[in-house]
Amino acid sequence: MSQPADVYLFGTCLLDLFLPEAGLDAIVLLERLGMRVHFPQQQSCCGQPAYTSGHPGEALAVARAQLACFPEDWPIVVPSGSCGGMIKHHWPRLFSGQPDEAQACAIAGRVVELTDFLLNRLNWRPQDLGEPVKVAVHTSCSARREMNVHLSSWGLLDRLANVERVAHDHESECCGFGGTFSIKHPDIAGAMVEDKARALVGSDAVEFVTADGGCLLNINGKLAQCGSVFQGRHLASFLLERTGGKP
């Protein structure tokens, strides 16, 4: 496939509210690769919190509000595997039988997660301008099990000449966030993120990267609570910095 001239960015509500720099870094990264990035200001949430909490009616109302945001037939790049998975895999079921089902399915078909887009659509081979470093990776459950984008995250990092990707013994396990799961089951979620944080700190990495904002906030919060200087960054920010696009 050829590189598109224009793309949309669905920024996700977590990035918009809590990690805006990661969303901006994703935009700059795409622009530096020669694309015009369009960010519809009226976009908000994909509907996942309500949907996974068993409230399809509320989820449908939230998701429906996004339909008018992406009128052009351009790829919709999502810097989150879980939000991307919600739109791509669950919107067709959520909108089934609705008058706007075809429009929702068309949007779902244009959704692509950021790392998947960079690696598999653009075949990006970045020039690594950073110093040698060892990093670990965390991938959200939805990103790993619905979208398989842990593979594209690994692939991008492995193309950085001075980056050594370090595996850790809880890499495939949930961090405990799970949206409302962490609110409804705080003891279980707390134990899960503690295991994840311990595994990351115990690895040979100096930091971790992830393409999912909720997981990033959850794990960094636990690490800070434990007094650890070990922290993570969104993969978009890491990639932009390694390729010279950010001081």
Read off the tokens for 224: 């800070």
| Local confidence pLDDT in tens for the 247 residues of the chain | 689 999 999 999 889 999 999 999 999 999 999 999 999 999 999 999 999 889 999 999 999 999 999 999 999 999 999 999 999 999 999 999 999 999 999 999 999 999 999 999 999 999 999 999 999 999 888 888 888 889 999 999 999 999 999 988 888 888 888 777 877 888 898 899 999 999 999 999 999 999 999 899 999 999 999 889 999 999 999 999 999 987 6
pLDDT recorded at residue 161:
97
Which architecture does CATH list for 133-242?
A: 3-Layer(aba) Sandwich (3.40)
Contacts of 223 (CB under 8 A, 6+ apart): 197, 200, 201, 230, 231, 232
pTM comes to 0.93
pLDDT recorded at residue 140:
86
pLDDT recorded at residue 178:
76
Return the domain boundaries, the chain.
6-121, 133-242
Read off the amino acid at residue 232: G
pLDDT recorded at residue 180:
77
